Structure 1
Amino acid sequence: MAFDIPNWVSIIIELGIGIAIAIAVYKLQTRTSKLAEELLSRISFMTSRVDSLLEQRRVDEQSKKAFECTRIIDHLEYIQKKELELKEYLTDFISGDTTSEQLQYFIKQNFMPIAKYRIHEIEDATRQLGDKLNDNKLRLDFLSYIEAFLNLSETVMVDGKRQNDDDLESFIISINLQVRRVQEFLTRFHKEIEQNDDSAK
C-alpha cells in the first residue's frame, strides 16, 4: 500500500519551495541591482574624472597659447621699435647727420644682436604654439616675415663700404613695409588671444 501525502502537506511543501525560490530570486536581484548601481557609480566617477582632466588640459592649452602669443607680441613690439631706430639712423646717414661708423656701430652692436635674439625667441614661441592658432595662415605668413626680416637685417649691414643713397632709401622703404607687417602680425596675434579668451568663457 502506497504512502500518500495529504494534500495540505504537499501544498505546504510546494509553498515552502516557492517561497525559498522567491527569496533566492529576490536576493539575487538585490545583489545584481547593487552591483549594477556600483558599476554605474564607478562609470559616472570615471566619466567625470575624464571630463575634468580634458577640461584641465583645454584650460592649460589655452593658457599656454595666450602666454606664447603674448611672448611673440612683446618681442615684435621691441623689433618694431628697433626697426624704427634703424630707419632713423639710415635717414640721418643719408642727410649726413650720422657717419658711416655710427651707422655700422648701431647695426652691429645694437640692432643685429638684439634682433637675432628676439627672432630666436619668436621662433621658439612659434614652435611652442604648434597648431593651436585659429588663423591657419598665421604661422606660415609669420615664418615668411621672419625670413624677410633677417634678410633685410643682413642686407643693411654696411661693412665699411660707402652705400649708395638709392640703396639706403630702398632699405628705408623695406623697413616701412616691415613695420607695416609687424603691425599686421601684432593685430593677428592679439586677435588669437581675444578668441582664446572668448572660448574660455
Structure 2
Amino acid sequence: MERNLTWHNMDIDRTLREQQMGQNACTIWMSGLSGAGKSTIANALEKRLYAMGKKTMLLDGDNVRMGLNSNLGFSDEDRIENIRRIAEVAKLMNDAGLIVITAFISPYRQDRRNAKKIIGEGFREVYVSTSIAECEKRDVKGLYKAAREGKIAHFTGITSPYEVPEHPDVAVDTAEMDVEACVDHILNRLGCLL
C-alpha cells in the first residue's frame, strides 16, 4: 500500500492547550483482570478530577468495544488492535489537553509497552490487582463461570493469560482497599503530574 502522507504541525499545540486548561495532559492506563474494579475506580477517579476542575475523558473497555472497536473480537490479533486503537485515541485526546483515564484489561505487557510508545511521556500505568477468586465473586455477568464451562474462548485469567505489569507507576489491590482509598492512592502517587 502506497502511503503519501505528511504530518502537519499546527499552531495551536498540546502545550498551549495545557496552558489554557491549567493542567498537564496524561493518560492514566488502568489494567487488570475482568472484575478487578478498573471501571469502578476509573469512574470515581474521573469524578474526583472533575470536582477539582480538571478536563478529563474516560475510555472504558466495554464502551469502546460497542463503538470504535465493535468490529474486533477477542483473538490475540484483535486484542492487540484494540489496545493500539485505544492508545491512538488517548494520544489524540492528550494532544487536545485532556487527562485520559482508560479502563481496559490490556492483558499483554507488549501491548501496554506499545501503548506507552504511542502515548509518550504522559503514559501512567495503574495496575488494578485482585485475585481471580475475588473477581469471580464479583462477576455479576457470569463470565468466569461461562469461561470455565468452555462457553467463552480467550477469556483472560481462565483460558488466556494476564501478564502482570512489571513496574507500574501505581498498583492498587481492590481486595484490600475500597474505591475511595484506591483513588486517594492514585492521586497521591500521580497528583503532581496532573
In terms of Rg, which structure is larger? 1
Tell me the TM-score normalised to structure 2 length. 0.24
